[in-house]
Structure 1
Amino acid sequence: MGKNHSLLSGDTGRSGHLVQEIVLPTYTLDSNLILLPGIIYNVTFSRYKAAALLYRYKNLVSQVSIINNLLHEYDFDENEKDLDSVHGNGDVNPSVISRDAVQGITQLFKYESRAKSSSSSSSNSGDSGEKSKQPTEFEWLALGIIPNQTKIGDVTESDSKVVTVSRIIGIADDTTNIKLTIQAITRGVLLDSNQSGELQSVSKMSENQVRIDWNHKVHDLGNKFKDLKVNYSQLHSSIERFLSDYRRALSVYSSQSNGKGNLSLVRKGSNTPNSGKTDSTNDKDSRQDLLTLNPLANSLYLQLVGSKDFNKAFTSLQSLFSQFSSDKYEIDGRTYLRLIDLTCGILPFPNQQKLALLKSHGIEERSTLMNEMIMQLNQIFESLHVNNTFVNNWFQNEATNIQKANVVANQLKSIRYLLEDMTKNRQQSNSRNAASSKNNNKPRNHGPQSYKRDDPHDEDDDDNDDDELRAIANFIKNKLPVISSLSSDSKRLITKDFKRIKASANSPGGGGNSDFHVLRNYLEIVMDIPWDVHVSKFKSNKEIDLKVAKKQLDDDHYGLEHVKRRLIQYLVVLKLLGINSENQQIEKSAKKSIQASNSKSGDSESGIVIANGDDTYAAKQQAKNKNKQSILEVKRDPINSSEALEISKQNRSPIIMLAGPPGTGKTSLAKSIATSLGRNFQRISLGGIKDESEIRGHRRTYVGAMPGIIIQALRKARCMNPVILLDEIDKVVGGNYGASRFNGDPSAALLEVLDPEQNNTFMDHYLGFPVDLSQVIFICTANDPWNMTRPLLDRLEMIEIGAYDYNEKLVIGKKYLLPRQIKRNGFPDVSDAYVKIGDEALKKIIVEYTRGEAGVRNFERKLGTLCRFKAVEYCEWLNKDRGSYNPIIEENDLPIYLGVPYSPGDVVSSDGTTIGNSRVGVVNGLSYNSEGSGSVLVFESIGFDRRNANDNDSSGSGPTLNMTGKLGDVLMESGKIGLIFIKSILYKKLLKTDDDVEAQRLLDRFNNLDIHMHVPMGSVSKDGPSAGITMALSFLSVLLDKPVPTDIAMTGEITLRGLVLPIGGVKEKLMGAHLSRKIRRMIVPRENRKDLIEEYTRSIEEAGEVLDHNLINELLKDNEEPSFKMHQVEEYYRNKYGISIYYAKEFYDVIRIVWNEDDMLIDDNNKSRLLEYHI
């Protein structure tokens, strides 16, 4: 027979009850708290003890992020088996729960599920109500909590067998402690091996056999509840009267004039000149009350009102009694028994009585005991009222002034003796703690990955919780010496400050002076920094799984292969260093063992120290500690303990900057990097920071000084190797701004943080000593990186993230955005059964509703709008207000949900007019917009011959040029350069004409030409040199009166010699030309073909195809030739976008491509004059 049993006894109908004998994990609290069934408790644990408790369930709650983050702070896996054999304490060195405990929790869950179902359906009985479903992750967190007998006192042997079966239902992290919300379910009894019959004793010391009796049948329930209600009503009246009397006494005390207090040695009304009848009436209500001097009264009052939740719980308890005593409600046995436990838990009963009620498994015994406890407590309040009335009458009416003075003196003397005794006990306890800390000369050091922030032996579980310096002293004496990332000088400074705070605490005034509080806050912050704590998904670097990391990045983001490749390279380097360091550590350990054996031949091989024969307690304790330490050193793997530290010194984390337009996934990519590496993630927004102290921290001399945002991020991450995102680094206010002259330059402060050669000694002004940031992965994001200072930009490894094309947006929308919006808008599932959008509809949303954006933010907003419309329709269908529900959204439905599409705003040269030949002088250019997208930009030019207006046949003084359209200086300069280049062609007579007369006529027309150029969309600023060839061709078209084809667009900078220089944003401009739907040919500078080759190879990788590296070399080698022969790149873009790409090395190439004429120039000699710069 197994270890878990469910024994059905008694009546098997609705009144039957189940007796379970199951194995459960057990835990003993550090406090004297008694958990009574039916009550939810908030219990605060240290981080280490909470992690040790939750670690036992790690295989069952792997998806709870808060538990995973907490467990990453400690390394329990390394010493799980060995430390159990040394200590035998599951709280300090935990192990995962056994299979028997898993079965026990499952049986407990099944009974609870059956009980819940039986409350709604009375037909279920016995085991027929068990469900096949398994517990959820929080439902696995069941355990038996054993009361701490040493904290309660006066316990019997039977008290040690009682246990409260509970479940953890909530976890809260306040960065210092962990608060667990524990629901007490029922009471149980711990079984010995001889009590459980065929059941065998459990193998783990942190698990026990527990017997649970689920009997809820109460005989004579009506009379029992009536007796309970009568007794509680009497107690409630007594408590209300006591609270009223006590508060009245306090109000009389606070109303005494001139602060004389509650006691007076002069009788009221004896020497009052105006002691009339009215005054005597008021005197009766405001007479002095000695109730506040009664220790019992003070104790009861503090228990009743000391907790902010007592009034609410006390009122709720009274409401429950009133509710079930009415005729509308009929109380059952389960509710009656729960009411007993609630009453005991809320009212101020001693812990011994609460423990007695907890171990009362018999229902009759429990009812009798509860009534006796209520009557005893009521008698205490009644006696207190009678005694206080007697004392007040004597003190106010019979006692002389000398007797009153003696009462006050004795009261003060008793208080003084009590305070002296408390101070004496506190000093003795502190001296014992100091002695015990001296005995522990060699604290445990588990290396950087297994360093424990909360040593269990340092827990503040004693009666000295008010000692402010104890935690700091433990850190200074036990943890500070073993921190490897701090230099000896830094440790000396910290120790010196600790000595100052001790001297300040012992000085007159104690901890009331300002220096004490400044130093205490400083040392608390130093103690809170996670020194030598390194959190990672992988136990050692050599175990890094590259496939899992690559899959994580692919699951979170589509494309961006160049970014993912860089991160995988970083992981590969860590993995190789981990593999190589293992061999180095083996060689070092072998050399050390040989040297140790030669120098200490008489020592034992195991290294275990045997205690000496000294009988003193200190000597025995010291020997015991050395035994434990020696066993730990033998059991620990010598390679894994220092491997991470060695690797961290050899490899420095990269400092990456993701540069690109908004909405392209820079911030979310940084989160995916942290997830794939298994590291904690912290985001720091740098937008608008204008003070250097926000980076480096304030100096301690300032009021309210705090560390900088970097140190604060380490405190929040609780490790020294997090992934820190420095968001919007290009928005830092610094450099030449006037504010930097007064507050310092924050961009200059970032130089040390982001320099791999310097950040291992980063100096924070508040801390005053260097901090190692070399293991932090800094990821910066920027929209316009060229706004940053040059030294800061030089320290960053910039990875550019360009705009998405509509094909990429289509995949992102289907794979990521639409399922996320379906889930966010309340649908029960992300399947197509609720919302389904076809590819054509998605493409129309991208092209016509969100065309201008480079990222996907507006695209996701539109998808969210569609999902909300469908959510309304789905709810109407559920309410039967709609006949049917259609989840499909077609292309024709978009105007109904999203309205009319936006006007594209792009004007192309094909948009003709009815006035004259409107295509002369109109050329399609290409622009790169500030949000990261591209578009077609039309340049319109019109020329007027001045001779026609003046009837003058003179040669003219030269052309005039007027440009409008909110153009920038660089763009206007490019237009002037283009016009001068056209003039140079005419003066050198390089254009082919019929005769010299025609050439002279063309020159005279040019000299008398008034040109006006305009760029539409006049409210949008336009600037940049990339429209040089576009404006030059527009001027030439006006001069020759020759229209430019409407299906061609061009971009490129022009020089005075006619050379076409490379520009940026080729990919975005190509996408803009494609989205116009009217461009079929595109002219780009010849030097930009390298950019197209790079985009071509990147697209092959993002498509999941294997890239032939020989092909890249062949394309680049062929590109060096003046006339390339490999056309794969051009064919790829022609098939993808329907645009033929042409290249221009000089302006003559533009003329030849546009008008398809090879004989525009006069002869080959002149041609060679223009073509001499090909090479």
Structure 2
Amino acid sequence: MVVFPSTIVPVYVGRDPSVRAIELSSEYDRNIFVLTQKDNELDDINPSDLYDIGTVGEIIQTIKLPDGSYRAVIEAKYRAKVLECVYSETLSAFIAKVEKLEDIREDSLELEALSRIVLSKFDEYIRLNKDIPEEASINLEEVRDEPDKLVDIIASNLPIRSSVKQDLLSVVSPKERLLKLAVILERELKILRIEEDIQVKVQREVEETQREYYLRAKLKVIQEELGEKEDSSGASFYKDKIKLLGLSEDTEDKLMEEADRLNKVPPFSPESGVIKTYLDWIIGLPWGVYTKDKLNLKDVRATLDKNHYGLQEVKERIIEYLAVKKYGGTRKSPILCFVGPPGVGKTSLAQSISTALGRNFVRISLGGIRDEAEIRGHRRTYVGALPGRIIQGMKQARSSNPVFLLDEIDKLGIDFRGDPASALLEVLDPEQNKNFSDHYLEIPYNLSQVFFITTANTTQNIPPALLDRMEILDLNGYTEEEKLNIASRFLIPRLSKEHNINRKNIPMKEDIILKIIREYTREAGVRNLERELAKIFRKVVVSYLEGKKGVFKVDEESLIELLGPPRFLSESIEKKPEVGLANGLAWTEAGGEVLPIEVIYMKGKGNLILTGQLGDVMRESAQAAFSFIKNRSVYLDITHNFSEIDVHIHIPKGAIPKDGPSAGITMASALASSLSGIPLRQDVAMTGEITVRGRVLPVGGIKEKLLAAYSAGIREVIIPRENESDLSKIPDEIKKNLIIRKVSHMDEVFPIIFYKEDVLERVS
């Protein structure tokens, strides 16, 4: 606060230096120097934190309060300027040397004119501001002829900022002070006039409301006299709620009509229940409710790294989106599609994104949905109609900008009831979903601020139009090193907490975790790995309850007791060169795997026999490979008459359907080996599509295939040259331990896979 001369003001003092100043002043001459601090938020202040002009006053009265603070009444006498101010450690108070500031003598007529203007404005101010008593104007009559006192008394009564009051206190010239005060009063008068106008409007609204209340009360009495019930349908309740939703005028009018229908139907009729259910859904949706995004990129990155290992591409995409938003961009929320095998963390990553952004999270599973109405809702003409899953999810989210996970989007079905994938086109289109129309609501709902994330194991089953609306982010299978890190940093600590076991009491070395990964799981993700680790923790809990205490050692011997014998041995890859056996690489929804291909020939009539439950594309690829080998028979030293032999191509694991062109060069290699008698190296695996002229074309799933080769102990892999760009996504651990050969023609493959050196020279 600012204390002006010629005023008597009560002050409350609580800080130690100020309390000590009151006590010292009371002990001596009761004089005290009052200064205002520049920043009211500061508790510990230095002399530099105070203004240099204040007021010297006399303490008239002091009352010590129970909490040790003081209530003091100060009679302010004159302005003064600080010459020197120090904090005395001895006295525990600020001691100041001050200079009295005398008012400048000026022309009395001009001062009198200014005084009259200020008095006139202050009289009007008192009339408009009921918080200031009228006695304040009467008291001013005594100082009308003393401009310096007049300004100080009026300024002390104005509810203006401390900095403005300090400016007035710092002015020595009474004339300049009067001019400044006149400007301040004029501004305050304008504010009061505006407030008065607003108050009149508010009063008018209140009177209208009271009039409406009176008329409604009167109507109620009339209805009671006539034996009618007053709004038993609850229409007014719904109308009040609808008004609070902030909807467009057209939408609000439509909903008001629905509410009015309640008054026209019997209260217990089925139609009344249908209308109420509809209106309950409307008022239950989060219209215009938004959560505030966390835009601290460092914190968001830390949250994502805390919950998930690796997945840098996805994390960077989220950081980029937030950076654009923080920078002031207006780009709509992205629509991401996480594609990867089961267990790699697609769903949990979406939950982590919602946590990192500070948004609500909602998930719906699309697996097995075949009815379009599950997405868009049922029309209200049907019995038991409800909104679709999108609107149901928005109600569950309780905000209009949640992270919305559409899980298993590649598992959508289609039948006579419609195509749910087509219904999702509007939901996942940023240009259309701001006016998403649910068949049940029949009014537009804005989905443009929703952060949609979808998940899929493969994009092959997603319609192209739907796929085009999403940004595809591949979450490929984990390497052994990544699985080891995930188990050590995430799975084991979490399982320790869930099972209430101190991690130190169940130590697991890296080689034991690797043994579990290699011999007890066979997956691209870590879901089964978590199950196996959880099984160990359960066994330990049982052991503790049966009386065993202390550290539970997990080694190779105890691992067999805990998990049983290993379920997955190393891939049965032949070590020595074999004739007619080549190792291919296949991609599956669960990751990659090594695919051995066997070829034999026998007397026959020129038939090509294919077994192993092969699809049409794979059969055609085998035909192309066979035609190429026939064409190269001279160079490969194949002397058989093809019309007198049958060739049989078999791919093991016949219970599993197989399809795709990527085994083309593998089948060609196995054919060449079987028909020429040249053995093939078994430490080499390959993938690539073949043409009848021997060209090697690019294929998909390179990362998964290389992971499978590495896990199987293969150390050399042949891939199409056009897939070289895919190697940038391969972990360094894999590239360091694999020799990767890039080829563009089948003639480049033979020198790599054939075992005999004399044959290599001939083929080359």
Output the TM-score relative to the length of structure 2.
Answer: 0.67
- Matches of 1:763 and 1:1003 in 2, distance apart? 70
Instruction: Tell me whether 1:966 sits opposite 2:613 in the alignment.
Output: yes
Aligned to 1:563: 314
Q: Deviations over 1:627-672 (max 9, x none)?
A: xxxxxxxxxxxxxxxxxxxxxxx33111111111111111111111
Cα distance 1:437–1:826, how it changes in 2: closer, same or farther (>3 A)? Answer: farther
Q: Is contact 2:234-2:262 (8 Å) kept?
A: no
How far residue 1158 of structure 1 moved from its aligned partner, in angstroms, is 9.2
How far residue 747 of structure 1 moved from its aligned partner, in angstroms, is 1.6
Q: Deviations over 1:1114-1165 (max 9, x none)?
A: xxxxxxxxxxxxxxxxxx6453xx32111211011011112378986999xx
Q: Find 1:711's aligned residue among 376, 391, 404.
A: 391
- Matches of 2:211 and 2:721 in 1, distance apart? 76
Q: Deviations over 1:953-1012 (max 9, x none)?
A: xxxxx74332333333322322222121111123xx445xxxxxxx6xx43455543333
Aligned to 1:487: 248
- Matches of 1:837 and 1:1066 in 2, distance apart? 33
1:828-977 → structure 2 map (5 Å cutoff): 829=502, 832-851=503-522, 853-876=523-546, 881-882=547-548, 884-904=549-569, 906-910=571-575, 919-932=578-591, 934-944=592-602, 959-977=606-624
How far residue 437 of structure 1 moved from its aligned partner, in angstroms, is 9.8
Q: Find 1:1141's aligned residue among 731, 740, 746.
A: 740
- Matches of 1:847 and 1:903 in 2, distance apart? 7
Aligned to 1:1089: 724
How far residue 940 of structure 1 moved from its aligned partner, in angstroms, is 2.0
Q: Is contact 1:682-1:725 (8 Å) kept?
A: yes
Q: Is contact 2:707-2:734 (8 Å) kept?
A: no
1:747-758 → structure 2 map (5 Å cutoff): 747-758=421-432
Aligned to 2:492: 818
Q: Is the partner of 1:716 in helix, strand or coil?
A: helix
- Matches of 2:211 and 2:570 in 1, distance apart? 77
Q: Is contact 1:810-1:842 (8 Å) kept?
A: yes
Unaligned runs of 5+ in 1: 1-195, 202-431, 440-463, 539-543, 579-649, 913-917, 947-957, 992-998, 1100-1131, 1168-1175
- Matches of 2:259 and 2:432 in 1, distance apart? 29
Cα distance 1:765–1:1015, how it changes in 2: closer, same or farther (>3 A)? Answer: closer
Q: Is contact 2:342-2:589 (8 Å) kept?
A: no
Task: Compare 561-570 and 919-928 and name the one that shifted more.
Answer: 919-928
- Matches of 2:211 and 2:489 in 1, distance apart? 59
1:1063 is aligned with what amino acid? Answer: V
- Matches of 1:568 and 1:755 in 2, distance apart? 22
Aligned to 2:281: 525
Q: Is the partner of 2:504 in helix, strand or coil?
A: coil
Q: Is the partner of 2:601 in helix, strand or coil?
A: strand
Instruction: Tell me whether 1:435 sits opposite 2:213 in the alignment.
Output: no
- Matches of 2:262 and 2:343 in 1, distance apart? 51
Aligned to 2:684: 1048
Q: Is contact 2:679-2:754 (8 Å) kept?
A: no
Unaligned runs of 5+ in 2: 1-63, 70-205, 214-229
Q: CA RMSD in A?
A: 2.9
1:494 is aligned with what amino acid? Answer: L
Q: Is the partner of 1:850 in helix, strand or coil?
A: coil
- Matches of 2:745 and 2:483 in 1, distance apart? 36
Aligned to 2:666: 1030
Aligned to 2:419: 745
Q: Find 2:262's aligned residue among 501, 508, 514.
A: 501
1:316-331 → structure 2 map (5 Å cutoff): none
Q: Is contact 2:458-2:589 (8 Å) kept?
A: no
**Quick one: percent identity of the two aligned structures?**
43
1:257-272 → structure 2 map (5 Å cutoff): none
- Matches of 1:1134 and 1:475 in 2, distance apart? 63
Q: Is contact 1:690-1:732 (8 Å) kept?
A: yes
How far residue 713 of structure 1 moved from its aligned partner, in angstroms, is 1.6
Aligned to 1:1017: 653
1:12-23 → structure 2 map (5 Å cutoff): none
Q: Deviations over 1:14-57 (max 9, x none)?
A: xxxxxxxxxxxxxxxxxxxxxxxxxxxxxxxxxxxxxxxxxxxx
Q: Deviations over 1:577-616 (max 9, x none)?
A: 17xxxxxxxxxxxxxxxxxxxxxxxxxxxxxxxxxxxxxx
Instruction: Tell me whether 1:774 sits opposite 2:448 in the alignment.
Output: yes
- Matches of 1:720 and 1:555 in 2, distance apart? 27
Q: Is contact 2:518-2:568 (8 Å) kept?
A: no
- Matches of 1:473 and 1:1017 in 2, distance apart? 66
Aligned to 1:809: 483
Q: Is the partner of 1:698 in helix, strand or coil?
A: coil
Aligned to 1:472: 238
Q: Deviations over 1:128-155 (max 9, x none)?
A: xxxxxxxxxxxxxxxxxxxxxxxxxxxx
1:1089 is aligned with what amino acid? Answer: E
2:559 is aligned with what amino acid? Answer: L
1:938 is aligned with what amino acid? Answer: P
Q: Is the partner of 1:1083 in helix, strand or coil?
A: strand
- Matches of 2:261 and 2:726 in 1, distance apart? 64
Q: Is contact 2:618-2:663 (8 Å) kept?
A: yes
- Matches of 2:388 and 2:609 in 1, distance apart? 54
How far residue 434 of structure 1 moved from its aligned partner, in angstroms, is 9.2
1:621-770 → structure 2 map (5 Å cutoff): 650-734=330-414, 737=415, 739=416, 743-770=417-444
Output the TM-score relative to the length of structure 1.
Answer: 0.44
**How many residues align structurally?**
549
How far residue 680 of structure 1 moved from its aligned partner, in angstroms, is 0.7
Cα distance 1:433–1:923, how it changes in 2: closer, same or farther (>3 A)? Answer: farther
- Matches of 1:856 and 1:1162 in 2, distance apart? 46
- Matches of 2:666 and 2:256 in 1, distance apart? 72
Q: Is the partner of 2:584 in helix, strand or coil?
A: strand
Cα distance 1:710–1:1133, how it changes in 2: closer, same or farther (>3 A)? Answer: closer
- Matches of 1:935 and 1:703 in 2, distance apart? 51
- Matches of 1:652 and 1:1014 in 2, distance apart? 52
- Matches of 2:273 and 2:608 in 1, distance apart? 74
- Matches of 1:523 and 1:930 in 2, distance apart? 44
Q: Is the partner of 1:889 in helix, strand or coil?
A: coil
1:1089-1128 → structure 2 map (5 Å cutoff): 1089-1095=724-730
Aligned to 2:754: 1155
How far residue 770 of structure 1 moved from its aligned partner, in angstroms, is 0.8
Cα distance 1:567–1:1006, how it changes in 2: closer, same or farther (>3 A)? Answer: same
- Matches of 2:683 and 2:622 in 1, distance apart? 22
Aligned to 2:100: none
How far residue 843 of structure 1 moved from its aligned partner, in angstroms, is 0.4
- Matches of 1:919 and 1:801 in 2, distance apart? 36
- Matches of 2:615 and 2:655 in 1, distance apart? 12
How far residue 781 of structure 1 moved from its aligned partner, in angstroms, is 1.0
Q: Is contact 1:908-1:937 (8 Å) kept?
A: no
